[in-house]
């Protein structure tokens, strides 16, 4: 009867295709909106995306968001370095600043300052020039997507940051954030010099545990120091995402949109499948009349749901994946993040949906009076 069930499903090409594409569209909606939402959330974590070396991100313990920090000072850095088990602890600077362009306009950029000797916090990829040249006097690296925004500058060009001279020694590629649609890298000392700050100017202290040392124990030691808190990458990332989700309203509003897409997708798929069974109800009644037990009809419907659900899912997730590939293209402004978890979520959603759709259908089939065959 499995063959019969499948033939009932695919036999009517037009109906079958509209069913499959209905489901595929629903999955596309779920996966695509989901991936954009996740992409935006990921983008909100800004420079966290680019830095993997440290075990611990140390800042004020009350930090809620990476762009909303109470800066630390040199003394804090020495306190952290004196904790046993710390392999290294380096300063990290991130702040918005102005670049004056030759044509008299200006551009707001995110200035990232990294430790001069270790270069920890460096951009993930160099596209032109050498990273080491960052140690030269007044040297800066420009992130590729800022190049056009700064008037197609080249290596050797001079930028003015708050009236201070900065020389471009290379170009790099890094992931952008909300705060950083144009990024300039320099050393920590340069960054401090380029921006008017007070005594406190360190955005983060990046620290690493010695091999064999438990970063959690070191974090606990940092947390015992007054006004210092240590976070793993995951913790600081989650704090930032939570802030965006809850405090800014972006998350909530867009989240509701995504959720609506999700629900619409699910309802459409469930209804589509339910409708399909309704159209076949008479056939099921005939099968019931000629001796097909309810359990057999249930199996047939579940099989149909599974087949059409998986095919619809495959097409939908394929299309959504194609979208995310476009978004992943370097320099694309689209924020798309399509992790395997999203595939699993949309698969589970799809299976749930067709199950609900088929449960509704089943209710009709189970309570079906076979007498309707004579109608």
Binding site for another protein (CB under 8 A): 1, 3-4, 7-8, 10-12, 282-283, 286-296, 369-371, 373-374
Give min distance, CB of 29 to another protein, in A.
29
Is the CB of 340 or the CB of 374 nearer to another protein? Answer: 374
Give min distance, CB of 4 to another protein, in A.
6
How many CB atoms sit inside 10 A of residue 197's CB?
14
Give min distance, CB of 362 to another protein, in A.
15
Do residues 284 and 304 lie in contact, with contact meaning Cβ atoms separated by under 8 Å?
Answer: no
Cα–Cα distance measured from residue 247 to residue 249, given in angstroms and rounded to the nearest whole number:
6
Cα–Cα distance measured from residue 155 to residue 169, given in angstroms and rounded to the nearest whole number:
5
Is the CB of 7 or the CB of 64 nearer to another protein? Answer: 7
The maximal CA–CA distance of the chain, rounded, in angstroms, is: 93
Give min distance, CB of 284 to another protein, in A.
10
To which H or E segment does residue 328 belong?
Answer: helix 294-328
**Residue corresponding to tokens 């360190």:** 202
Rounded-to-10 torsion of CA 28, 31, 36, 38: 180
Cα–Cα distance measured from residue 207 to residue 78, given in angstroms and rounded to the nearest whole number:
12
Give min distance, CB of 292 to another protein, in A.
5
Give min distance, CB of 268 to another protein, in A.
23
Closest CA to 143 of 179, 118, 115: 179
DSSP assignment of 138-177 equals: TEEEEEGGGTGGGTS--TT-EEEETTEEEEEEEEEE---B
Alpha carbon 94 to chain centroid, angstroms = 21
For residue 59, give every residue at least 6 positions away whose Cβ sits within 8 Å of its Cβ, in sequence order, or none. 69, 70, 72, 203, 204, 205, 228, 229, 231, 236
**Residue corresponding to tokens 């991936």:** 35
Give min distance, CB of 2 to another protein, in A.
9
Closest CA to 344 of 24, 20, 30, 42: 30
Positive or negative, the CA dihedral 279, 285, 291, 294 is positive
Do residues 239 and 326 lie in contact, with contact meaning Cβ atoms separated by under 8 Å?
Answer: no
Is the CB of 211 or the CB of 291 nearer to another protein? Answer: 291
Structure tokens at 176: 């952008």
The packing angle between helices 250-279 and 13-43, to 10°, is 170
DSSP-derived 3-state class of residue 179: coil
Is the CB of 227 or the CB of 369 nearer to another protein? Answer: 369
Give min distance, CB of 363 to another protein, in A.
15
Alpha carbon 290 to chain centroid, angstroms = 54
Give min distance, CB of 361 to another protein, in A.
16
Give min distance, CB of 327 to another protein, in A.
40
């Amino acid at each position: 009867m499995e063959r019969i069930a499948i033939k009932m499903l695919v036999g009517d090409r037009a109906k079958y295709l509209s069913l499959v594409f209905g489901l595929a569209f629903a999955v596309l909606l779920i996966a695509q909106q989901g991936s954009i939402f996740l992409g935006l959330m990921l983008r909100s974590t800004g420079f966290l995306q680019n830095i993997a070396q440290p075990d611990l991100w140390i800042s004020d313990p009350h930090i809620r968001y990476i762009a909303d920090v109470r800066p630390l000072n040199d003394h804090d850095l020495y306190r952290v370095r004196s904790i046993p088990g710390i392999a290294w602890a380096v300063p990290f600077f991130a702040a918005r600043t102005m670049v004056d362009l030759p044509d008299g306009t200006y551009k707001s950029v995110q200035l990232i300052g990294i430790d001069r000797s270790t270069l920890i916090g460096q951009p993930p990829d160099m596209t032109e020039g050498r990273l080491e040249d960052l140690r030269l006097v007044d040297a800066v690296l420009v992130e590729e997507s800022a190049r056009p925004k700064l008037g197609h500058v080249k290596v050797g060009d001079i930028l003015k940051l708050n009236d201070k001279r900065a020389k471009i020694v290379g170009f790099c590629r890094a992931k952008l954030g909300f705060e950083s649609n144009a990024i300039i890298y320099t050393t920590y000392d340069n960054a401090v010099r380029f921006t008017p700050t007070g005594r406190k100017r360190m955005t983060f202290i990046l620290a690493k545990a010695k091999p064999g040392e438990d970063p959690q124990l070191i974090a606990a030691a940092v947390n015992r120091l007054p006004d210092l808190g240590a976070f793993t990458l995951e913790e600081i990332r989650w704090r930032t995402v939570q802030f965006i989700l809850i405090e800014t309203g972006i998350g909530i509003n867009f989240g509701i949109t995504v959720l609506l897409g999700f629900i619409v997708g699910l309802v459409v798929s469930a209804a589509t499948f339910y409708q399909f069974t309704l159209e076949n109800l008479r056939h099921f009644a005939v099968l019931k009349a000629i001796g097909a037990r309810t359990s057999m009809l249930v199996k047939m419907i579940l099989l149909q749901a599974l087949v059409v659900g998986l095919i619809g899912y495959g097409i939908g997730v394929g299309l959504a994946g194609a979208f995310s590939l476009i978004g992943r293209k370097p320099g694309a402004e689209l924020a798309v993040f399509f992790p395997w978890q999203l595939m699993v979520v949309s698969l589970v959603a799809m299976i749930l949906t067709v199950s609900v759709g088929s449960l509704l259908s089943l209710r009709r089939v189970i309570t079906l009076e076979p007498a309707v065959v004579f109608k």
